[in-house]
Amino acid sequence: MLFDLRITIPDRPGALGAVATALSHGDANIVTLDVIEHGDGVAIDHLCVDAPAGLTDALKRVATEVPEATIEAVRPVEAFRDTLAPIELAAALASANEDALRVFVREAPGALWTTWCLAYRDAGDGVEIIASSACSPQIPVLAAPWLPLRRATRLDPGDWMPPAWRMGRFTYEVAGAPLAGTNLGVLVARRHGPRFRPSETRALGLLADVAAAGIQAPSTKR
């Protein structure tokens, strides 16, 4: 079985090796690794782990053998994470023109490791949901005290969220990005986390910029 892990470890030589050793002691093996960010003595890594007998024992080994490591999130997956997915989405958006928003909403969850994606139109006193990906909540309008968005950012949990989005430790992790030059934007969410990091919101913002350029391209040509 394959699992995605988001793990925080000390940013020092040997720390990742200690995690790999602990996982192997639990009959699990790292098959892919992405560095999400590092700094201030901490590194945040995204691992894809092969654990044929499940991951419970391996995680117990990590907790025991590398107590400074923190597992932020775990989820089963059917295939390795495609590290080129964000680049492939950017290429698709660049050629999608007026369909760019639809393409963004459909493909963003896979490219950005999120549960769902919504596209919205600024309605003044909130946002009107105009497109949604698979597995997304069915809501026509949403309170939006975080408007206007100037750039892609993580949105703090709060009363603006529907009740189903804020259920104790399962509160949704949400980030949003405007489509520059329009009254449109996108929201992406992770149902069980992990927290959106600055490198991830930057990627969201860059993809939103490509989508915005595609949407506006047809009117520019006329």
Q: Assign domain 2-77 to its CATH superfamily.
A: ACT domain (3.30.70.260)
Q: What is the reported pTM?
A: 0.86
Q: Assign domain 85-221 to its CATH superfamily.
A: GAF domain (3.30.450.40)
Helix residue ranges, H only, the chain = 15-25, 56-65, 85-94, 100-112, 198-221
How confident is the prediction along the chain (222 residues), in pLDDT tens digits per residue?
Answer: 899 999 999 999 999 999 999 999 999 999 999 899 988 899 999 999 999 988 999 999 999 999 999 999 898 887 777 778 899 999 999 999 889 999 999 999 999 999 999 999 998 888 999 999 998 988 989 999 999 999 999 999 999 999 888 877 678 999 999 999 999 999 999 987 889 999 999 999 999 999 999 888 755 444
Rounded CA-CA distance 80/64 in Å is 27
The domain limits of the chain are: 2-77, 85-221
